[in-house]
Chains A and B, each alone.
Chain A
């Protein structure tokens, strides 16, 4: 209810709301929150990485191609 009020009356974003709520947590609760956020972030990363891998395969990007791109950028930006 408080969060709904903050969102409506103060135009707070979801992130602001979460931070406002987190600021009221104890040290132990903050540690637990961080652990859960870390797990969530890792799951999101795995999901994004799976999608990007499929995209790279579709574009036929290989390790050799990545090496060429990185080293070419190095040489070009420094010449």
Chain B
């Protein structure tokens, strides 16, 4: 795996799956929120797609029963951190367990990301697609330098 602090100085590109953003937007002093803030200091570049943003909004309003106003604010908060990428229709399938999860993987491919960070077991099973490594938050934390 590539260290987040690359010797050649290039920023590492990361796509976070929806549940990571949901945690970021609902648990301010939580593990994931602190991890993302730490990564921002380390100049990690985040990318997000409309698909992920919609899933985050749905989870906040329907699963966590938060207001639509808060979900809209969360979307804007994410977009202050992550650069949006457009997904084009693709017939290629990456996730055998649930092919509809392909949009998450496609986001990472479109962003030419180094890592896709997820807690979805079906997506984690894929492990690597082209140059994108699919890892857990714990693995991601291990890659982030402490200082």
Contacts and interface: CB of A to CB of B under 8 A. Distances in A.
Nearest to A63: B23
A69 interface: yes
> For the complex, would chain A's binding face be called helix, strand, loop or mixed by DSSP majority?
helix
A75 B120 CA distance: 11
Interface string A28-54: 000000000000011011001110110
A15 interface: no
A67 B19 contact: yes
B80 A42 contact: yes
Contacts of B32: 63
A58 interface: no
Contact of B100 (A48, A66, A71, A74): A74
Nearest to B18: A70
Interface size class of A (residues with CB under 8 A): 20 to 34
A36 B31 CA distance: 30
A69 B77 contact: no
Given A42-B80, A44-B73, A70 B63 contact: yes
B120 A73 contact: no
Those 8 A-B pairs whose CB atoms lie nearest each other, nearest first: A69-B63, A70-B19, A53-B28, A67-B119, A78-B100, A49-B28, A67-B19, A63-B23
Interface of B: 18-19, 22-23, 25-32, 55, 58-59, 62-64, 66, 70, 73, 76-77, 80, 98, 100-101, 119-122
Interface of A: 41-42, 44-45, 48-50, 52-53, 56-57, 61, 63, 66-67, 69-71, 73-75, 78
7 contacts: A45-B76, A45-B77, A53-B27, A56-B27, A63-B30, A63-B119, A67-B120
